[in-house]
Structure 1
Amino acid sequence: MTTPADEILDIVDEHDQVIGRSPRGEAYAKGLRHRCVFIQTRDAEGRLFVHRRTATKLVFPSLYDMFVGGVVGAGESYDEAALREAEEELGVSGLPAPRFLFKFLYDDGAGRSWWSAVYEVRCDLPVRPQAEEVAWHDFLPDAEVERRLPEWEWVPDGLAAYERLREHRRAAR
């Protein structure tokens, strides 16, 4: 049986060019730069999907996140990964293709670095998040998410993507 740690990822350079491949567990352990997708999901009322990760996650266990998403598999495009990850984590099928917004290089300065493609999608389907990925979830109004930012412990890469998305939307106005 393969585990998430066995999943093969493209390893990329600072310009997002593929320079090799590695199992996910090894990429994490050695701090190899790879690719991830972040999909901001809203329901028909415009509320944001927020969840707390399970304690068994390889990175950032038990922290809150305002995105669904994950790693891009070897040979997979960002767009393919965004749809796959959104459907998997939300527990739905038939989701519209998430809309690409922008990409940035996340680097925490402590050996965690990945190219991060940010998307958005509307989900009108009833969600059934994966129990092995999501410990708690809800759709929250933006004001509630903003209120919870200083109170809850958020995944740092998701928080970085959220802050960049706020700036992206301000600049688009």
Structure 2
Amino acid sequence: MTATGERVERVDEQDRVIGVVDRGEAVARQWLHRVATTVCRDAHGRFLVHRRPETVSRFPGCHNWLIGGAVEPGESYERAAARELAEELGVRAPVRPLFRFLCRGAISPYWLGVHEAVVTGGLTPDPAEIDRYAWVTESELWDMAGRRTFVPDGAAALRRHAATAGRPPAPPLP
């Protein structure tokens, strides 16, 4: 989704709503707002990784393992994650909250809600959001996340995911 014209809830350091603003302004002024994402797994436990189109304004041509976008005013993280999953992948699946954290972000800071969904059946990616995709193992995901062409906020969420899952420390990422 494009940031211009989107309305989001501006929030404070404790994720409490303090107003509704334009997302573009929130990013430009470094105001905290909310973003909801989903980690997609298949029946074999592999992770979905996608490449962003070269035409997008943020992280063109980069890879990410998170599907998502801004939480709309009055919307829950979980509902936003499910909506974004349907919009970007054409998938309707239950999303399960994993964790939420204050992400300092490569472009601006925001509260990031990370969810998980098991995806079965075909995908219909929105070409404006997803150039191509692949299912990868956890090892392959870590390898990709260590590259310069991986969205930095996605790499931060991957580190947090490993920590909250009680796994041993993962290899350092840039």
Residues 76 and 15 (structure 1), Cα distance of their counterparts in 2 relative to 1, 3 Å cut:
same
- The question of 1:101 aligning with 2:133 is answered no
1:143 corresponds in structure 2 to: 139
CA distance in 1, matches of 2:36, 2:72: 11
1:11 corresponds in structure 2 to: 10
- SS of equivalent to 1:25: helix
CA distance in 1, matches of 2:30, 2:78: 24
Structure 1: 5+ residue stretches without partners = none
Q: CA deviation at 1:38?
A: 2.1
CA distance in 1, matches of 2:56, 2:73: 20
TM-score (norm: length of structure 2): 0.88
2:69 corresponds in structure 1 to: 70
1:128 corresponds in structure 2 to: 124
State the AA in 2 paired with 1:146: W
CA distance in 1, matches of 2:20, 2:118: 33
1:168 corresponds in structure 2 to: 164
Greater fraction helix: 1
CA distance in 2, matches of 1:27, 1:55: 24
Deviations 1:110-157 (A, max 9, x none): 761100111111000201110000112111122221222323521111
- Whether the 8 Å CA contact 1:38–1:158 is kept in 2: the answer is no
CA distance in 1, matches of 2:71, 2:117: 18
Moved more, 43-52 or 147-156: 147-156
Deviations 1:58-97 (A, max 9, x none): 43232110111111111111111010011211122x31x2
State the AA in 2 paired with 1:99: R
Residues 106 and 59 (structure 1), Cα distance of their counterparts in 2 relative to 1, 3 Å cut:
same
TM-score (norm: length of structure 1): 0.88
- SS of equivalent to 1:118: strand
- RMSD, aligned α-carbons: 1.9
Moved more, 65-74 or 19-28: 19-28
Q: How does 1:39-118 map to 2 (within 5 A)?
A: 39-92=38-91, 94-95=92-93, 97-108=94-105, 112-118=108-114
Structure 2: 5+ residue stretches without partners = 168-174
Number of aligned residues: 167
- SS of equivalent to 2:75: coil
